[in-house]
Amino acid sequence: MAANNASAAHSRGWYSHHHSVKSARTTTRTTTTCSSCSLSSSSSATQTTGVRRRRGEIIVPNAIIQRKAGSNYSETSVQFWKYQGLGNDFILVDNRESEVPKISPERAALLCDRNFGIGADGVIFAMPSPDPAKFDYKMTIYNSDGSEPEMCGNGIRCLARFVADLDKDQRGKKYNVSTLAGLIVPEVREDGQVAVDMGTPILNASNVPSTLKDCERSHEMTVDGEKWLANAVGMGNPHCVVYKKANGEMISDVYGLDLPKIGPIFEKHETFPAKTNTEFVQVVDKGRVKMRVWERGAGCTLACGTGACATVVAGVIEGHVDRKCVVELPGGPLEIEWREIDDKIIMTGPAEPTFEGTTALGV
């Protein structure tokens, strides 16, 4: 890294890393692995980019199959920044000059691939405000399979830190961000942590959307022959929260669960017509739980902000936890508070830049 480059990066508080793809690889072999349990998975695929095809044990993203040899450089190169919140990592794009995302969903899926692309759980665009009187920016996000979720808790912390870093904003600034789940308000605090007003949870089953009878209590779901008790919670995006088996047995070792096996079955279960994120929760005490997540469209990730919020909401409804609770994810802890006075959820956690670069890789 050139010295002037390094000092420019230092003055912004992080190191610069120029990402470029030099060799035109034609091989199409890659695997999908679970980042928090290192197991291969065959089923974290995909809505908008089509089903990933299996070749033996090898899962090949469609974006790569469709790419013709020698065509992996696109006309346009895109500058990006990489951020992570508790190991949930995102490619950030400054898209504030245009209403149209600079990267297509198919290209996003390719760039998120950890072997053929940059590697990320999703791509997030800082978009222009749809209504400057109400919002500072809009957040658009694609999952690693190219599908578009309504909201992303870790992602919005990264977005806030990203625009604060770009504009060299004072710490303590709050941003009114427009999302498909409505107004969400992150604040980059003095200590670099980002506290987000995530709004109120959706506790009307058909709005989650879920066909479970209601959100007031847990309901039985059969997955791979086993009966679980699940709560439906909406955070803009759908969540299915599981604390116990239908026989009343609480989850006692969340790391003993075979997520790549059961996660995809929950994800596509008929009781969640828009598919679902699923959180598996082990209670430590009323103020602390361990949670692992299987994300819709992204598989096993190290953290899920909206999932941590849904975990506390379901835990309070079921009497397992207090309204103020630390959710320990594979990537680290998130502080969640479901406020009694206004029903809003405040999520507090880190968001850090890791590198920036330019890519011409495309489909």
Residues that bind ligand ZDP (CB under 6 A): 88, 143, 149, 152-155, 237, 277, 295-298, 301, 304-307
CB of 123 to ligand ZDP, least distance (A): 11
Spatial separation of the C-alpha atoms in residues 14 and 2, rounded to whole Å:
14
- Taking each helix axis from N to C terminus, what angle separates 305-318 and 153-167, rounded to the nearest 10 degrees? 140
Query: Is 152 marked active-site?
Result: yes
Closer to ligand ZDP by Cβ: residue 195 or 298: 298
Closer to ligand ZDP by Cβ: residue 72 or 312: 312
Closest CA to 196 of 181, 215, 216: 181
Determine which one of 34, 158, 300, 304 is catalytic: 304
**What tokens appear for 82 in the block?**
């990489």
CB of 152 to ligand ZDP, least distance (A): 4
SS3 per-residue string spanning 9-60: HHHHCCCCCCCCCCCCCCCCCCCCECCCCCCECCCCCCCCCCCCEEECCEEE
Strand 299-301 relative to strand 288-295, pairing: antiparallel
CB of 157 to ligand ZDP, least distance (A): 8
Contact of 203 with 355, CB cutoff 8 Å: no
User: What are the beta bridge partners of residue 233?
Assistant: 239
The type of residue at 57 is E
Closer to ligand ZDP by Cβ: residue 117 or 149: 149
CB of 22 to ligand ZDP, least distance (A): 31
Closer to ligand ZDP by Cβ: residue 64 or 351: 351
Query: Is 304 marked active-site?
Result: yes
Contact of 358 with 81, CB cutoff 8 Å: no
Closer to ligand ZDP by Cβ: residue 219 or 296: 296
User: What are the beta bridge partners of residue 333?
Assistant: 328
Determine which one of 34, 112, 152, 240 is catalytic: 152
**What tokens appear for 28 in the block?**
């199409």
CB of 306 to ligand ZDP, least distance (A): 3
Q: What angle do CA 84, 82, 267 make, to 5 degrees?
A: 55
Residues classed as catalytic: 152, 304
